[in-house]
Amino acid sequence: MRGRLAHRLQAVFVSPIIRRVGFHLNRLTAGMERGFFLRLLLGLLAVVGLAAVVVTAIEGRHDSVGGVAESFGASFYWGVTTVMGAGDASYVTSVAGYFVSWLLVLFGVAIVATITGALVGFVIDFLLKEGQGMGAAGYRDHIVVCGWNPTARELIAELSTDEYTPKVVVVHDSEKNPAGSSAYFVNGDCTNTDDLRRAGIDEAMAAIICPADASNDADMRSILTVMAIETIAPQVRTVVEANNPAHVEHFKRARADEIVVTSRISSRLLARSSLYPGIAGIVTDIVSGGEGSELYRVALPDDYVGLSVDDLSSRLRRDHNATLLAVGRDSASYVNPGPDFRLQPGDDAVVVAESLGTLAPLKVDNG
């Protein structure tokens, strides 16, 4: 029971909205002196305490030490409630008591007005900065999309239809969110570490780098983005869309985890489709989540170790209504392995299925 309650409290305090509010509070108070709020609180307590001493001396009970302490406590509580605008007007009956009460009321009005103005100003600043992409995402285990192009638009639409739906953050130099309500927006430079941190790159699941256009300069900027991510968050999986196949080696040297050359994929798919009709439609249906054909990479249960490819394919089909495409081992993928291939601990599978069902999506550790 305690563990469940602690987990719920932790979920509340680490929720994205709480983390965003904390980011803006730190930003707004960054230029303030650290002891400002402490001195303000101590000053408030001193004023209320002085008023309580005066009221106790004028109207309190002095028949015993206990009576004085009790009277001072009641007066102090009255002073606090008076400052907050909810004090008991009948607590004081003398002219001096009325005078102290009026001073506390005026003091309380000033404090409430100051606090109200600060809160309203903070809310307005919060909404404006969030709308302009100047906030911080506050997500964990999300996907960061660096840059914007037609590919980014399509991939966000694809991610939103996947059964395993992660949060998405778009980092792009723009006045408004290019993804609309489909993703959180960070207005900034993908090569800037501060902007990447606002996108939560340190706690992201993966980063997708999309070139702004089809030029070689866009590839060079994508390489700089990969290097920036690897510098501050090397554990994050980086997937890059490359324009020029000649730049693949540069991306590898920048330590990108996966490089997708869209022109190479398109040309090869066109070539196979010209030889074998319908290939393009089948591949498109698989990668775009057609009817009953979502593409997943899943972890395999421990009791699958030792199975042959035929046995694995049969069990996946029987137990999960999934079709085996490939087996992953370490950093290699085995497509259509031979009959002597046996599963080893840690192997995973790439399957086509209608849904994940009881299968678990593979979590890749890049650390």
Q: Do the domains at 143-265 and 291-361 have one common CATH topology?
A: no
> Looking at residue 278, what is its pLDDT?
84
Contacts 24+ apart (CB under 8 A), 94-100: 94/58, 94/59, 96/54, 96/58, 97/55, 97/58, 97/59, 100/51, 100/54, 100/55
Beta bridge partners of 169: 144, 184
> Looking at residue 188, what is its pLDDT?
94
**Which burial class, exposed, middle or buried, applies to 147 when counting CB atoms under 10 A from its CB (0-12, 13-18, 19+)?**
buried
> Looking at residue 11, what is its pLDDT?
44
Beta bridge partners of 328: 333, 348
The CATH-assigned architecture of domain 291-361 is 2-Layer Sandwich (3.30)
Enter the tokens of residue 73.
Answer: 């406590």
Is residue 225 within 8 Å of residue 206, measured between CB atoms?
Answer: no
> Looking at residue 175, what is its pLDDT?
86
The model carries a pTM of 0.70
> Looking at residue 2, what is its pLDDT?
43
Across the 367 residues of the chain, what is the mean pLDDT of every consecutive 10-residue run? Answer: 44 70 76 65 82 82 62 85 79 84 81 77 83 88 93 84 78 90 92 94 94 92 96 94 94 94 86 86 74 78 89 88 88 86 90 74 57
The fold adopted by the segment(s) 143-265 is Rossmann fold (3.40.50)
Is CATH 3.20.20.70 the right assignment for the domain spanning 32-131? no
> Looking at residue 164, what is its pLDDT?
60
> Looking at residue 232, what is its pLDDT?
94
CB neighbour list of residue 99: distance below 8 Å, 6 or more residues apart: none
Give the β-pairing of 348-353 and 294-299: antiparallel
> Looking at residue 61, what is its pLDDT?
52
Domain ranges, ordered by start, for the chain: 32-131, 143-265, 291-361
